[in-house]
Structure 1
Amino acid sequence: MKLTRFALPLTASLAALALASCSSPTAATTSPGASGSPSASTATAPIDVVASTNVWGDIAAKVGGDKVNVTSIIDDPDKDPHEYEASAQNQLALSKAKVVIENGGGYDDFVDTMLSSAKNTSATVLNAVTISGKKAAAGEELNEHVWYDFPTVEKVIDQIQSSYATIDPASADTFANNAKQLKGSIDALVKKEGDLKATYNGQPASITEPVPLYMLEAIGLKNKTPDAFSEAIEEDTDVAPAVLQATLKLYSGHAVKLLAYNEQTTGAQTEAVLKAARDNNIPVVGVTETLPKGEDYVSWMTKNLDAIGAALAK
C-alpha cells in the first residue's frame, strides 16, 4: 500500500480554511446531474457531498439527482492525479459535507487528513475499497483502482443510496429509483465484459499500471507485464534495465494482444513501452484514472470496453 497517492502540502492550513469560511463557498466541481440549489418543490436543502475524484462524484450525483450538491476534488483529466495539491476551498467543502466518498486503499489518504484538519466528525465517510471487501493476496499489494471493478461500484452505489436516505428520508424513493437505474446501466457493462470474455478468454495483454486490471481480468485477459515494471511505474521509481527490456520484448515478440496505457501518468519508460507497442503494431488502449471531459461514468466505461474489444479483434 502506498502511503500517499496525492500530495497534501503544508500550505493547506487551518488558517486558510478560516479565511475561506468568511465568504460563500464555491464547489470545485459539480458533477453532471447534481444541483447547487434546492428545487422549488422541496423544503429540504440538497445534501452536501464531497468525493475524492470525479469518478465517485459522478456516481454520487447520479444517485442523488437534484437532492444533492456534489463537489469532486480531483476533476482535471489533463493532469496527473497523483500530483494533486490540497486547497482551502476543498478543505472548506469537506468541513461542510454530510457525505464523503473516498476511494481508499492508500489512493487518496489526503481526504482523511483534510477531514481531520477540518474537524468534521459528523460526515458519513464511504470508503470504496473497504466497501469492496477486497484484500491483498499474501505478499502482494492491493490494486486500489476499484472503480474499474463493476461489482464494487454497485456496492458503493448501494451504500450511497442508504446514506442519502438516512439523511433525507422523504427522498428515499427518489434515491432508490436513481440507484436502480444506474445499476441497470452497470449491469449492461457487466454483460459486455462477459460477451468479450466468451470470445477472448485467456488472451495475453499488458499494462503500464494496474489501473484497468480489474476490467481486463473480468474479460479473462492474462496480464503478461512483469510485476516489477508496473509496480515501479505506480510507485514513481525507476524501472531496472533488465525489467524494462523484458517488458519491451512483449511487443517485439508479439507476446501480447494489446497494451492498456495510463495516459495520465507518463514518463520516459512508459513512453518507451508505448513506442515499442506501436512500432510492432500492438494495439494501444488509452485508459485514465479520472473522467474524461464530456463523459459520465457509464459512457466512459462503455468506451473503454469498446476500445478493448476493437483492439482484441485486430
Structure 2
Amino acid sequence: MKASSVRGTAVLTGLALALASGCAGSSDAGSRVGSQTGAPSPSIPVVASTNVYGDIVRQIGGGKVKVVSIISDPAQDPHSYEASTQNRLELSKAKVVVENGGGYDDFVDRMLHSAKNSSPAVIDAVQVSGKAPNAGGEFNEHIWYDLPAMGKLADRVAAALARTAPADAATFRHNATTFKDKLSALESKERQVKAAHAGTAVAVSEPVPLYMTGAMGLRNKTPADFSQAVEEGGDVSAQSLQRTLALFTGKQVKALIYNKQTSGPPTEKVKAAAEDNGVPVVPVTETLPQSEDYIGWMAANVGAIRSALDR
C-alpha cells in the first residue's frame, strides 16, 4: 500500500482508512502511514529468512513494516542456500530479523556474524517454540507446521516491533491477538481430525508436516532412515526404499503426505506406488505458495489431510 498524493478531504479520508487497516499490508514493500502531525512515519525494516515468516511479520506489523523475505522461490532449498550481496545489504539495515533456527537457515546467522552494522533484534522460531531434539534423536526443524509455536512467535514479533516503535505497540499487540485467534480456529480443526482419525497411519516423503500430523493424532509409519535421507539429500538404501514402498502395496497407510518442493527417484517411486494402490497423495510445501497467506495456507493443508483421511 503506497500513500497517495491527493489533497484536502481525500488525504484525511485516506489516512483514516490506512490507520483502520492494521493488517491490510501484503507486499514486501510495506507501507507508510501518516503520523498525527501529518508527516510520514518510517516503516520498520524487517528481514525474514523465508516468506513464511515474512508473511507472519506483515500480519502483525501491518503497514508499519517493510519486510524482505530472503527465500520466496518454491524451488529454492533453504538447507543449501548461499547468501547474496543484496541479502547482506538488507540485513545490515534491518531492525528485526526472523529466522527459523534449528539448523534450517544457518545462512542468516552467517550473514549476521559478518555484517558490519548491526545489532537487530533476532527472533529464532525454534528457540521461541521451546522445542529441542530428543536425546540422541533427529530434530524436526519445520517448526512453522506447529500452530502453537507460531502463536508464541506472533507475541515475540509484536514485542520486538514494539521496542522499535513504542508508539505503535498497541497496534502490534492487537494484530498478534487477531493472528492467534485465527490459529486457534485452525487448532480446533486439527482436533476435529484427531477426534475422527486418531491413530490412523500415514506416510510422509520427509518430516515437513509431522508437527501437524502429530497434532491430528496420526501415526507416521515411514521408515526414519528413508525420510531423513530424503531431507538431507543423501542416498536412500534399497532396503529402506522397499520398506517404504511396502506401506502402499500392503495398504498399511491411509495417505501419503508429499513435499512437492523436493523430489528425486526414490520419492517419485513412493508417490507412484501410493497412486497405483489408491492411497491419496497430499502435496505440501516448505515455503508459502504465491498469492496465499500463512493462515490460508495452513487451513488448506489441514483440509487436504482431512479429505484424504475421509475417503
Instruction: Give the structure-2-normalised TM-score.
Output: 0.89
The Cα offsets for residues 240-270 of structure 1, whole Å up to 9 and x where unpaired, read as 1011000000000000000010011110100
Q: For the Cα contact (< 8 Å) 2:30–2:64, is it kept in 1?
A: no
Aligned equivalent of 1:245, options 231, 242, 257: 242
Structure number with greater Rg is: 2
Note closer, same or farther for the CA distance 1:306–1:96 as it changes in structure 2 (3 Å cut): same
Name 2:32's counterpart in structure 1. 38
2:99 and 2:186 map into 1 onto residues whose CA distance is: 23
Deviation at 1:142, TM superposition (A): 1.1
Q: For the Cα contact (< 8 Å) 1:81–1:264, is it kept in 2?
A: no
Q: For the Cα contact (< 8 Å) 2:28–2:69, is it kept in 1?
A: no
1:121 and 1:92 map into 2 onto residues whose CA distance is: 11
Q: For the Cα contact (< 8 Å) 1:35–1:66, is it kept in 2?
A: no
RMSD, aligned CA: 1.3
Letter in 2 for 1:199: A
1:100-249 matches, within 5 Å, as: 100-249=97-246
1:271 and 1:243 map into 2 onto residues whose CA distance is: 14
The Cα offsets for residues 253-290 of structure 1, whole Å up to 9 and x where unpaired, read as 00000001001111010001000000001000001000
Question: Counterpart of 1:157 in 2: which secondary structure?
Answer: helix
Q: For the Cα contact (< 8 Å) 1:34–1:66, is it kept in 2?
A: no
Question: Counterpart of 2:70 in 1: which secondary structure?
Answer: strand
2:89 and 2:161 map into 1 onto residues whose CA distance is: 21
1:304 and 1:170 map into 2 onto residues whose CA distance is: 37
Deviation at 1:182, TM superposition (A): 0.7
The Cα offsets for residues 140-171 of structure 1, whole Å up to 9 and x where unpaired, read as 01110000001100000000000111111100
1:54-133 matches, within 5 Å, as: 54-133=51-130
Question: Counterpart of 2:45 in 1: which secondary structure?
Answer: strand
- Provide structure 1 residue ranges, at least 5 long, that are not aligned to the other structure: 1-30
Q: For the Cα contact (< 8 Å) 2:79–2:105, is it kept in 1?
A: no
Deviation at 1:135, TM superposition (A): 1.2
Q: For the Cα contact (< 8 Å) 1:34–1:62, is it kept in 2?
A: no
Name 2:48's counterpart in structure 1. 51
Deviation at 1:304, TM superposition (A): 0.3
Name 1:311's counterpart in structure 2. 308
2:31 and 2:217 map into 1 onto residues whose CA distance is: 45
1:139 and 1:180 map into 2 onto residues whose CA distance is: 37
Instruction: Give the structure-1-normalised TM-score.
Output: 0.88
Q: Does 1:266 align with 2:263?
A: yes
Deviation at 1:235, TM superposition (A): 1.1
Q: For the Cα contact (< 8 Å) 1:35–1:67, is it kept in 2?
A: no
Q: For the Cα contact (< 8 Å) 1:101–1:127, is it kept in 2?
A: yes
Q: For the Cα contact (< 8 Å) 1:33–1:66, is it kept in 2?
A: no
1:120 and 1:131 map into 2 onto residues whose CA distance is: 25
Letter in 1 for 2:178: Q
1:35 and 1:79 map into 2 onto residues whose CA distance is: 21
1:89 and 1:35 map into 2 onto residues whose CA distance is: 15
Deviation at 1:82, TM superposition (A): 3.8
1:78 and 1:132 map into 2 onto residues whose CA distance is: 27
Name 1:294's counterpart in structure 2. 291
Letter in 1 for 2:150: V
Q: For the Cα contact (< 8 Å) 2:241–2:266, is it kept in 1?
A: yes
Note closer, same or farther for the CA distance 1:69–1:96 as it changes in structure 2 (3 Å cut): same
Question: Counterpart of 1:257 in 2: which secondary structure?
Answer: coil
Letter in 1 for 2:34: A
Q: Which sits farther off after the overlay, 74-83 or 246-255?
A: 74-83
Question: Counterpart of 1:50 in 2: which secondary structure?
Answer: strand
- What is the identity percentage for the equivalent residue pairs of Structure 1 and Structure 2? 54
